[in-house]
């Protein structure tokens, strides 16, 4: 149990997917200025990540490995499953929360091309996680992603009132902010020996 907790904290903070592993940068950079929308986006992504982690575990251990095709069919199999999962989540979200569905708009299908999801799926066979560990890993990654996104949204809200030179507006200042955030997260290094 304690190992699972350490895994969760390690994935969400120490090896944060966005600020340390460089996964999920595109939505991170293009993300919203509103904390609520970032939380919603993060939540949807976390859900897809948890499902993808579990799906990846099953596909790797019950299909790819037994047939010996992992080395050359893994990428195709994983990305196909991920795009199906995203479609599924879209349909579910439309049913249970049309408001959130509309708010997220184009960002929902874009979750498919979020490298954090494919990256997550690919890590699982590499690290040889069990089913439970995979699920925790997926949730931890999603929480870390949501954390990074929400912090950035909060900072962006504040930056609205600052006088940023034209050349750095938008992506420029976001990247510089991300650099400082990344330095902060480096401070978690050594918190847990992974």
Hunting for tokens 């982690």 — which residue is that?
Answer: 53
Name the minimum Å distance from CB 185 to another protein.
Answer: 8
Burial group, residue 79, by CB count within 10 angstroms (0-12, 13-18, 19+)? middle
Select from 5, 80, 91, 132 the one that contacts another protein (CB under 8 A).
80
> For another protein, which is the closer residue by CB, 99 or 126?
126
| Of 55, 43, 110, 42, nearest in space to 85 by CA | 55
CA distance 34 to 129: 35
Are the C-beta atoms of 16 and 148 separated by less than 8 Å? yes
Closer to another protein at the Cβ: 94 or 127? Answer: 127
**What is the crossing angle of helices 70-96 and 115-127, to 10°?**
130
Q: 177: burial class by Cβ within 10 Å (0-12, 13-18, 19+)?
A: middle
Footprint (CB under 8 A) of another protein, residues 130-189: 165-176, 178-180, 182-183, 185-186, 189
Q: Which is nearer to another protein, 5 or 194 (CB)?
A: 194
Q: Which of 4, 83, 97, 154 binds another protein (CB under 8 A)?
A: 83
Q: Quick check: 81 and 120 in contact, CB under 8 A?
A: no
Which residues within the stretch 91-110 sit at the binding site for another protein (CB under 8 A)? 106, 110
105: left (phi over 0), alpha (psi -120 to 50) or beta: left
| Shortest reach from residue 35's CB to another protein, in Å | 19
End-to-end CA distance of the chain: 16
Q: Which is nearer to another protein, 61 or 113 (CB)?
A: 113
Binding segment for another protein (CB under 8 A), chosen from 56-64, 75-83, 130-138, 151-159, is 75-83
* Residues of span 15-74 touching another protein by CB under 8 A: 15, 19-27, 29-30, 69, 71-74
Residues that bind another protein (CB under 8 A): 15, 19-27, 29-30, 69, 71-76, 79-80, 83, 106, 110, 112-115, 117-119, 122-123, 126, 165-176, 178-180, 182-183, 185-186, 189-190, 193-194
């Amino acid at each position: 149990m304690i190992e699972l907790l350490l895994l969760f904290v390690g994935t969400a903070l120490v090896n944060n997917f966005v600020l340390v592993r460089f996964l999920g940068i595109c939505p991170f950079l293009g993300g919203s200025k509103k904390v609520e929308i970032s939380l919603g986006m993060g939540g949807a992504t976390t859900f897809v990540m948890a499902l993808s982690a579990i799906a990846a575990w099953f596909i790797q251990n019950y299909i790819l490995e037994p047939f010996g095709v992992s080395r050359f069919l893994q990428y195709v199999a994983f990305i196909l499953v991920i795009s199906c999962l995203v479609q599924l989540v879209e349909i579910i979200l439309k049913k249970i929360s049309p408001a959130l569905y509309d708010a997220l708009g184009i960002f929902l299908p874009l979750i498919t091309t979020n490298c954090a999801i494919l990256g997550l799926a690919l890590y699982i066979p590499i690290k040889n996680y069990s089913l439970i560990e995979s699920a925790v890993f997926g949730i931890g990654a999603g929480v870390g992603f949501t954390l990074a996104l929400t912090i950035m949204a909060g900072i962006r809200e504040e930056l609205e009132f600052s006088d940023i030179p034209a050349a750095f507006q938008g992506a420029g200042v976001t990247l510089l902010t991300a650099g400082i955030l990344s330095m902060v997260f480096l401070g978690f290094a050594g918190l847990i020996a992974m």
